[in-house]
Chain A
């Protein structure tokens, strides 16, 4: 009895370790940064509207048991290609953004199908496969953006092209669509701008996720996530369901990247998308999600905590230790570290559950050998 209490406490701590850790970190860092509260509030509201969509894009593959979708950068690339075309054609404001999303759609579907099919060939190591696939497609994307666009694929706006006549410039200015979403419904409460339309988009995608989970396909996806073999035996097309999860995730990532970039106002052609995956995944995990379980509140809480730390860490570092660079490295350490930590906790938890399951088989005679190995 005692050992099961202990293991339950252990599970609770393991499950919530990341959120607890971050709340403590931020509680120390906010006063140390000496940044004014109104500034932090404005920044957080802006960043919530900017990044949440991307983070929500990660939810379905987790439900389908495919882990954190490191392949979401493929969607981000599709979104960027859509934006570059819209810039070339000179379509401004909200119509431009909607058109960019429409353009990204077929590219995202194609890339998502590719990504899902490849992950089906590497079951059990979807994450590392998606991660490497992101690097690989980055090469293909560069081939497309730097060599094909402007030569084979018509791009005529000289402001977009490199001086050699083809290939997209390193930085694309999004002035004509910049913050079109944020400015569409201007709302100011106590001097703080609220990006209403962004929030409506996020609400819409959240509603979609909630609705989707209840559909037949959503239920199938959950079943596949719990146990592929059982799901397959009940007649669910496992591989097809997994591919659909990745396609939806990729499409949403493409839309999310467009929302993200229109807020920033520029695209770094060769590397805007590279950090999208890492930042979104780190945010989701900080919000208390795990490799197997993630919800919309996880995503929103995660974005708030992650960006709060990002905002205050450099200043806190400067005020506490007197070094700006140190704060910057600390920021990067946190992003990588939280992913490492979550993956480690996930494996530990799996090992602990396997131990418990074995103990149950042996008639409840605890198996706390302290080694935690799976074998």
Chain B
């Protein structure tokens, strides 16, 4: 009994409920006529699609800036990268690389400004980042109307103004990562390239946090006074973490787009941060502590739920409650993390 109690305390009750729920869905799949290989394939594609966006939250959590609800700023940088790349007309790997590179430049610039702002509002980061994110999305919506893009793929035909709301990347770099070395067995497809890319970026982040600068960043997050006393420039570390987070967010959305097949402008990035935040929290991260394990477990559980819930509910109850369940699960998880005394989970 004691052991069970300790296990529950260590693992966190919500995480156990979510894991059991997901396991149940997978077990039910064959019974209600849902193709398990297809479901697994969808889940793995979604993991590759969303992984880096979740990873993007790690640096800011580690440096004590909290949950980056302003991830939409990184998403905007990614959108700029993708649209600029399409404007150049490059296709295939060249176009994708161009999108990533441009997005990183914008991500670094936005991240620097955003980080400098957050340094002046210590303690109020989460709420401010949410609304800075929201207002930036609106500023960019105005920008999408007036920016001088000319590629016919992106602008409205006669009578419209500005860029389209969704832009297809089909003829440019759709599935460029997903299809790289992809394993295809009947209706099971494993997006090897996207997963490898996600693992590669994760490895880079892992390495970063084992360098001197990464350790210093973690120190700033866990105890700012101690970090200052040992000669770490707290504000600089925080800015670096925000820049890193924004750049990763920018890269993440480009990876997302290559898999999804579309670039979504205007209101598109408004709520992009929330699923990522929910995922990393489901993975066991706290408001002040996150690890790569949290990212992996979180993205797998969260995307698993998103894939399986509509499939099973449609098959069993003939109704689609997946939206409601998604809203309750993801926001419930964020709420749980906000109300909990922060404790690291393994």
A and B: partners? yes
For B324, the chain A residues whose CB sits under 8 A away are: 139, 142-143, 146-147
For residue A339, CB closer than 8 A to chain B, the reply is yes
For A373, the chain B residues whose CB sits under 8 A away are: 119-120, 122, 235
Whether the pair B335, A129 counts as a contact (CB closer than 8 A) is: yes
Q: How far is the CA of A326 from the CA of B145 in the complex (A)?
A: 7
Whether the pair B121, A344 counts as a contact (CB closer than 8 A) is: yes
Known pairs A129-B335, A340-B134, A347-B123; A375 contacts B328 (CB<8 A): no
For A343, the chain B residues whose CB sits under 8 A away are: 121, 124, 127-128, 131
Known pairs A127-B127, A344-B128, A373-B119; A333 contacts B142 (CB<8 A): yes
A interface: dominant SS? helix
B residues 248-301 with Cβ under 8 Å of A?
266, 274
B residues 231-261 with Cβ under 8 Å of A?
234-235
For A339, the chain B residues whose CB sits under 8 A away are: 131
Whether the pair B138, A332 counts as a contact (CB closer than 8 A) is: yes
For residue A310, CB closer than 8 A to chain B, the reply is no
Whether the pair B135, A336 counts as a contact (CB closer than 8 A) is: yes
Shortest beta-carbon distance, A348 to chain B, in Å?
Answer: 6
Among B117, B228, B274, contact of A344 (Cβ-Cβ < 8 Å): B117
Among A135, A138, A329, A346, contact of B142 (Cβ-Cβ < 8 Å): A329
Whether the pair A326, B142 counts as a contact (CB closer than 8 A) is: yes
Whether the pair A121, B161 counts as a contact (CB closer than 8 A) is: no
Number of interface residues of B (CB under 8 A): 45
For residue A372, CB closer than 8 A to chain B, the reply is yes
Whether the pair A323, B145 counts as a contact (CB closer than 8 A) is: yes
For residue B157, CB closer than 8 A to chain A, the reply is no
Which of B145, B235, B274, B331 has the most CB atoms of chain A within a 10 A radius of its CB?
B331
B interface: dominant SS? helix
Interface residues on A, range: 35 or more
Whether the pair A374, B122 counts as a contact (CB closer than 8 A) is: yes
Can you name the residue of chain A whose Cβ is closest to the Cβ of B328? A139
Q: How far is the CA of A330 from the CA of B138 in the complex (A)?
A: 7
B residues 292-346 with Cβ under 8 Å of A?
319, 321, 323-328, 331-332, 334-335, 338-339
For residue B139, CB closer than 8 A to chain A, the reply is yes
Q: How far is the CA of A375 from the CA of B321 in the complex (A)?
A: 48
Shortest beta-carbon distance, B328 to chain A, in Å?
Answer: 4
For residue B126, CB closer than 8 A to chain A, the reply is yes
Shortest beta-carbon distance, B316 to chain A, in Å?
Answer: 14
Whether the pair A121, B339 counts as a contact (CB closer than 8 A) is: yes
Q: Which positions in A face B, CB cutoff 8 Å?
A: 118, 121-122, 124-125, 127-129, 131-133, 135-136, 138-140, 142-143, 146-147, 323, 325-326, 329-330, 332-333, 336-337, 339-340, 343-344, 346-348, 350-351, 371-375
Q: Which positions in B face A, CB cutoff 8 Å?
A: 69, 117, 119-124, 126-128, 130-132, 134-135, 138-139, 141-142, 145-146, 161-162, 224-225, 228, 234-235, 266, 274, 319, 321, 323-328, 331-332, 334-335, 338-339
21 contacts between A and B (CB under 8 A): A121-B339, A125-B127, A132-B338, A136-B328, A138-B331, A139-B326, A143-B324, A147-B321, A325-B162, A326-B142, A329-B142, A329-B266, A330-B138, A333-B142, A336-B131, A339-B131, A340-B131, A340-B132, A340-B134, A350-B123, A373-B119
